[in-house]
């Protein structure tokens, strides 16, 4: 009898202890609250209309500064150009001698055609499936907020960075970054930050693997112009401006097809070929009802958007332009965007602007490992097909990796109904928590840092 009673007493006690442990070890309610709060902060940032051409930078800045305050991060607002603020946040490391980590994101977004969206692009509508619809949900307010949420978690866990971590929220990326990241990269503030690695935006991936970018194609904006004797619309003669331009367009079209075929055949990725697309055609003699029809004009023009990977031979492409697309022998001239938009393909050290993705770059290896540790998959590194602010940092010779952790997500940047699923957003926070932890704890000198020390 007595033993039975004791046994029962012990089993009750065990049950009680078990229940207590469940409460201590599984604070489910608080983590659900944390998740809901993170989603709500993301949506709040998305609801700020930072659409070009008149982004509400003041509101975005106030929001970011309030986030920084809640995380006890040091903050400053830089205005390289009036009314175009750049918010710079700092989490000081215990060893400020080591080069720092820069997490960059842009606060502006592209315009949207509101009537073509299912929900207003600045409502940040969360639908019953968990999708968050908003302009900037993929490009790239998600990444900026994921950096902050990852830091929130690391701080809560008591993590102390060895390297200093900076976050920059830059304006104007969508209109070329000249008043934002470019001026920032050229500034003394930037120099004093002693940056060792930059993370910037990538692209959503429809597969289960994340995409990472180590370089980007360089835009060449080409305008070719043909001149020729004007003539009656009924006359057949050689060397009219239109005929000369047609010959060029046919040649450009053949080149475009040859590049596109490589992509279609799976031999090259989109970022590895030269893309050429016609942006405009300008010719004809205007009349009150349209164009004069019985006249062959003396001038004709065509404009092309060309994107050149850093691995391409720029000289051979320039030769193709002068010899085939706009030869002087056919009375043609060309302008390469007055070289205004032709960003250099070489860094200030005369090397192609690429970030190494092998063991020579420890930041790459650390990123691969950190993604794996957080149960993410990383695809083969790619060349970004368009331009991002990362080029301004790579031009300084710094390693920069383009990475937006969005898997299982259709690519909708600049498209109608841009969205990100909340689960993918939350998974991205895990990924960044792992990356920032690994980067900020890395104490080994990288090769470049050793070189710099020796100088
Ligand atoms: Zn972007």
Of residues 215 and 218, more confidently modeled: 215
Cis, bond preceding 43 (omega within 30 deg of 0)? no
Least confident of 39-53, 144-158, 217-231, 434-448: 434-448
> What is the predicted pLDDT for the residue at 445?
64
Ligand 1 midpoint to CA 110 (Å): 9
Q: Under a CB-based contact definition with an 8 Å cutoff, are residues 63 and 48 in contact?
A: yes
Q: For residue 150, give the 3-state DSSP assignment.
A: helix
Ligand 1 midpoint to CA 79 (Å): 20
Residue 105 has pLDDT above 60, yes or no: yes
Using pLDDT thresholds of 50, 70 and 90, give the confidence band for residue 449: low
> What is the predicted pLDDT for the residue at 442?
97
Percentage with pLDDT > 90 across the chain: 82
Residue 455 has pLDDT above 80, yes or no: no
> What is the predicted pLDDT for the residue at 453?
45
pTM to 2 decimals?
0.84
Ligand 1 midpoint to CA 199 (Å): 13
Active site residue 318: no
> From CA 198, how far away is CA 453, in angstroms rounded?
20
> From CA 386, how far away is CA 271, in angstroms rounded?
8
> From CA 427, how far away is CA 432, in angstroms rounded?
9
Residue 227 has pLDDT above 90, yes or no: yes
> What is the predicted pLDDT for the residue at 314?
85
**Per-residue pLDDT averaged across 59-75, rounded?**
98
Query: Strands of 419-421's sheet, edge to edge?
Result: 125-126, 131-133, 419-421
Choose, from 108, 179, 201, 389, the residue flagged as catalytic. 108
- Please identify which residue in the block is written with the tokens 């060895």: 162
**Per-residue pLDDT averaged across 291-312, rounded?**
94
Give the pLDDT confidence of 233-289 residue by residue, as tens digits: 999 999 999 999 999 999 999 999 999 999 999 999 999 999 999 999 999 999 999
Ligand 1 midpoint to CA 155 (Å): 27
> From CA 434, how far away is CA 429, in angstroms rounded?
9
Ligand 1 midpoint to CA 107 (Å): 9
Ligand 1 midpoint to CA 196 (Å): 22
Ligand 1 midpoint to CA 287 (Å): 42
Give the pLDDT confidence of 325-362 residue by residue, as tens digits: 999 999 999 998 644 445 566 666 667 789 999 989 99
Choose, from 139, 149, 172, 173, the residue flagged as catalytic. 173
Active site residue 453: no
Of residues 385 and 28, more confidently modeled: 385
Ligand 1 midpoint to CA 294 (Å): 47
> What is the predicted pLDDT for the residue at 4?
67
Determine the Cα angle at 412 with ends 407 and 418, to 5°.
Answer: 100
Q: What is the mean pLDDT of the chain?
A: 91
Give the pLDDT confidence of 111-158 residue by residue, as tens digits: 999 999 999 999 999 999 999 999 999 999 999 999 999 999 999 999
Ligand 1 midpoint to CA 442 (Å): 28
Give the pLDDT confidence of 360-398 residue by residue, as tens digits: 999 999 999 999 999 999 999 999 998 999 999 999 999
Using pLDDT thresholds of 50, 70 and 90, give the confidence band for residue 21: low
Using the 8-state DSSP alphabet, how is residue 306 labeled? E
């Amino acid at each position: 009898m007595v033993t039975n009673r004791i046994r029962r007493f012990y089993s009750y006690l065990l049950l009680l202890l078990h229940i207590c442990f469940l409460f201590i070890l599984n604070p489910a309610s608080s983590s659900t609250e944390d998740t809901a709060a993170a989603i709500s902060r993301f949506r709040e940032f998305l609801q700020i209309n930072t659409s070009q051409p008149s982004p509400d930078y003041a509101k975005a800045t106030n929001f970011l500064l309030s986030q920084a305050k809640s995380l006890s991060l040091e903050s400053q607002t830089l205005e390289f150009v009036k009314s175009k603020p750049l918010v710079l946040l700092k989490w000081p490391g215990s060893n400020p001698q080591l080069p720092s980590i820069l997490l960059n994101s842009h606060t502006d977004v592209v315009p949207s055609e509101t009537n073509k969206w299912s929900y207003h692009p600045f409502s940040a509508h969360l639908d019953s499936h968990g999708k968050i619809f908003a302009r900037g949900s993929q490009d790239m307010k998600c990444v900026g907020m994921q950096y902050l949420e990852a830091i929130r978690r690391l701080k809560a866990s008591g993590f102390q960075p060895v390297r200093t971590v900076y976050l920059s929220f830059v304006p104007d990326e969508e209109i070329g970054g000249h008043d934002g990241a470019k001026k920032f990269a050229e500034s003394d503030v930037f120099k004093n930050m002693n940056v060792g690695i930059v993370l910037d935006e990538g692209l959503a991936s429809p597969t289960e693997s994340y995409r990472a970018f180590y370089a980007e194609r360089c835009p060449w904006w080409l305008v070719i112009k043909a001149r020729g004797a004007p003539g009656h619309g009924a006359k057949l003669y050689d060397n009219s401006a239109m005929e000369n331009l047609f010959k060029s367009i046919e040649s450009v079209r053949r080149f475009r097809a040859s590049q596109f075929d490589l992509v279609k055949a799976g031999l090259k990725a989109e970022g590895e070929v030269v893309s050429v697309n016609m942006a405009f055609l300008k010719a004809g003699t205007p009349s009150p009802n349209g164009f004069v029809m019985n006249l062959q004009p003396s001038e004709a023009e065509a404009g092309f958007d060309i994107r050149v990977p850093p691995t391409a031979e720029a000289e051979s492409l320039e030769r193709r332009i002068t010899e085939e697309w706009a030869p002087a022998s056919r009375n043609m001239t060309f302008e390469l965007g007055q070289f205004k938009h032709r960003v250099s393909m070489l860094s200030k050290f005369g090397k192609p602007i690429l970030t190494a993705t092998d063991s020579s770059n420890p930041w790459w290896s650390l990123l691969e490992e950190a993604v794996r540790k957080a149960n993410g998959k990383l695809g083969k590194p790619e060349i970004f097909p368009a331009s991002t602010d990362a080029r301004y940092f790579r031009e300084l010779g710094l390693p920069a990796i383009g990475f937006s952790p969005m898997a299982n997500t259709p690519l909708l940047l600049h498209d109608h109904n841009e969205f990100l699923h909340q689960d993918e957003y939350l998974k991205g926070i895990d990924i960044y928590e792992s990356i920032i932890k690994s980067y900020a704890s890395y104490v080994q000198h990288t090769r470049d840092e050793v070189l710099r020390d020796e100088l």
